[in-house]
Amino acid sequence: MTNASNERSLTDHAKNPRVWLGVAIAVVAFAFIAQNRDPVVSNLFMLQFTAPAWLTLTLVFLLGMATGWLVKRRR
């Protein structure tokens, strides 16, 4: 891959509205996570645990990103 084609690829990627939508969602998620720091009780099946809300939200956000990445790679 030449340097010119690599630069063109980055420019095309930056113009993609899906990229900007993804960045906007990540920024909103980060702001939401940063503002929710109180401890919360979470239930998963029969397990119950207490953790800071930011940690729980971050984990769910990362799991959602991983799921989206895995689904996209299968297509």
Rounded to two decimals, the pTM is 0.58
Three-state secondary structure call for residue 14: helix
pLDDT at position 23: 86
Contact 72, 47 (CB under 8 A): no
For the chain, percent of residues with pLDDT exceeding 70: 77
What does the domain layout of the chain look like in residue ranges?
3-74
Q: How far apart are CA 75 and CA 21, in angstroms?
A: 21
